[in-house]
Structure 1
Amino acid sequence: MVMDTKSLIIDIATTIFQQKGYLGVGLNEILKACNISKGALYHHFPNGKEELLIACLHSLNEEITTDMEEIIQRYPSTQTATQAMIEKLVAQFDREGIIIGYTFSSIVSEMGSLSEPVRNACALSFTKIQEIFSNKLVADGFSKETANSIALMMTASIEGGILLCLTRKTSDPLKTISQVLPNLLKEF
């Protein structure tokens, strides 16, 4: 599949933002990695680097939620789907030393207070992830209110687990969450 220039810029910039954060990346580094001129970047993203970051967050959100929905639909219960999802994150971390979803957490902590559009893009991503969990929990028989509460706890646990994996340089925190979280769901 041939990517258009805008998609290619988003793809490459997403990887760079994940590795170095928003503030750690200069525009010239993105231009060089994409092999484009400043004019080409501003043609696609008239408001510059921040607009590019928001496009990257939307793209990542799409990728993550599509993947989540696919996993959720493949398993009969929230417990088994959650375990499968976390096992996939663990495998990714063990293989690559990074977890894709980390971008949301790092970008929120780095940019959330500086940019309302970036904060909104991150909030939208977390909301979508929670909705996916919540809808599966409702399908499992939980009330909407209970499902929303559990989905918030699940999202926070997994995001926190991702941060712990990255800071400790081990997938053990997510492995623990993978064992504990499904058992907690049984108690509701």
Structure 2
Amino acid sequence: MDTKSLIIDVATNLFQQKGYKGVGLNEIIKACNISKGSLYHHFPNGKEELLIACLQLLNEEITKDIVEIFERYPTTREAAEAMISKLVENFEAEGTLTGYTFSSIVSEMASLSEPVRNACAQLYQKIQAIYMEKLLADGFTKDKANAIALMMTASIEGAMLLCLTQKEAEPLKIISQLLPKML
């Protein structure tokens, strides 16, 4: 793995675990075993530029995973059930959802930085578009598919946050029971 990818991987994990403000550049440098000059070589504008790169990585990883699941199942209902089941399994196995949610970063930084807010918005839009595409294929009208996709995005993201704060998978399990009934 090249140095830039290493920095992004390590910083992404640290930001998800501790939040943007809870992680200093020195901690990232130490965890990567690199020099400060090396970090600034790849991210000359510092921590915020690194955060945006981390959000772009999460965007790619999260949406790739969602697309794979949604392509594997013929209906939105089946795909949503499978995706949420995977989230529950991961949470129960690892006690966290690192790699699947970035909501803590959104709540911490979106109002403070327009570039960070835009990066977060792009990810949510991409997730919602994946859901919407599948809903349209299921025969929903564009307006109805858009509304349901928004509700799915908000419900699943909210359930993930609740799982993290409650330290249990119950919120996702409830969503997995209720969401298919709405589809």
Q: TM-score, normalised by structure 2?
A: 0.98
Show the counterpart of 1:126. 124
What's the counterpart of residue 94 of structure 1?
A: 92
Cα displacement string for residues 112-145 of structure 1 (whole angstroms, at most 9, x for unaligned residues): 1111100100000000000000000001111111
Question: 1:158 aligned to 138, 156, 159, which one?
Answer: 156
Task: Give the structure 2 partner of residue 149 of structure 1.
Answer: 147
Q: CA deviation at 1:101?
A: 2.6
Shift of 1:155: 0.3
Percent sequence identity is 71
The letter for the 1-side match of 2:75 is: S
Query: How far is 1:73 from its partner?
Result: 0.4
> What letter corresponds to residue 26 of structure 1 in structure 2?
G
Q: Are 1:78 and 2:76 matched, yes or no?
A: yes
Residue equivalent to 1:66: 64
Give the total of aligned pairs: 182
The runs of 5 or more residues in structure 2 that have no matched partner are none
Equivalent in the alignment of 2:33: 35
SS in 1 for 2:44: coil
What is the rounded CA distance, in whole Å, between the counterparts of 1:68 and 1:45 in structure 2? 29
User: Aligned-pair RMSD on alpha carbons?
Assistant: 0.7
Q: Structure 2 matches for 1:19-34, cutoff 5 A?
A: 19-34=17-32
TM-score by length of 1: 0.95
Gaps of 5+ in 1: none
Where does structure 1 differ by over 6 angstroms across 4 or more consecutive aligned residues? Answer: none
Pick aligned residue for 1:52 from 50, 53, 57 = 50
Is 1:7 aligned to residue 8 of structure 2?
A: no
For 2:12 and 2:57, the matched residues in 1 are separated by 9
Shift of 1:102: 2.5
Matches within 5 A, 1:104-119: 105-119=103-117
How many angstroms apart in 2 are the aligned matches of 1:98 and 1:117?
27
